[in-house]
Structure 1
Amino acid sequence: MEIIGQLLPFIILIAIMYFIIIRPQQKAAKSHKEMLEALKKGDKIVTLGGIISTIHKVEEQFLSIKINDDVIVKVTKDAVARKYEDEA
């Protein structure tokens, strides 16, 4: 009984850490992965560098993005922060 009394605060602390920190991070990572898998040609994205661009071509691990009419750049899918939604 004495051991349970000593371990109970640690167990409660671990449970709190799981629900406040670990679980939300896992949820965010899962939704980001699903967003990356759903990207298609013509979608507007924001890169981690803050560049707003349009997807020109989707490959397995890379995206060709069109920054303007003359510039097409190849980036990894990990460089995509989010899809860009016009605030219109």
Structure 2
Amino acid sequence: MNPFLFLVLMVGGFMLLIYFLMIRPMTKREKQHDTMVEELQTGDTIITAGGMYGTVETIDKDSVVLKVESGALIRVTKGGVLKRDLWQQADDWRPDSQL
């Protein structure tokens, strides 16, 4: 086998491996995050990338205004929204309940 052809096949194989192990999952997560952020509604409880919990008060083009437990309003970018906190939105959840 030609050494140059072998080198080209090896480099191509590594590029495919990197794509399927790193790039493709990352783009899939980005699409899921974008979809989740677009589906946010007023009243949803979310967790920010900084670990803060809050309830969505208003949604702007590039940011979300959250009401945190103390009653303060904070503005975070949509990219700072980590995930929706579905557990706290369950019907049986009470903020004053003890675990």
TM-score, normalization: structure 1? 0.89
Structure 2 residues without counterparts, runs of 5 or longer: 91-99
Instruction: Give the corresponding residue for 2:18.
Output: 17
TM-score, normalization: structure 2? 0.80
Q: Within 1, Cα distance between the matches of 2:59 and 2:7? A: 55
Question: Is the aligned partner of 1:47 residue 2:22?
Answer: no
Amino acid corresponding to residue 12 of structure 1 in structure 2:
G
Instruction: Give the corresponding residue for 1:27.
Output: 28
- Runs of 4+ with deviation above 2 angstroms: none
Q: Within 2, Cα distance between the matches of 1:12 and 1:38? A: 38
After the TM superposition, which of the residue ranges 35-44 and 2-11 deviates more from structure 2? 2-11
Give the aligned length. 88
What is the CA RMSD across the aligned residues, in angstroms? 1.7
Task: Give the drift of 1:69.
Answer: 5.8
Q: Within 2, Cα distance between the matches of 1:35 and 1:20? A: 23
Structure 1 residues without counterparts, runs of 5 or longer: none
Q: Within 1, Cα distance between the matches of 2:36 and 2:17? A: 28
Change (3 A) 1:6 1:69: closer
Q: Within 2, Cα distance between the matches of 1:24 and 1:73? A: 31
Task: Give the drift of 1:81.
Answer: 0.7
Amino acid corresponding to residue 43 of structure 2 in structure 1:
G
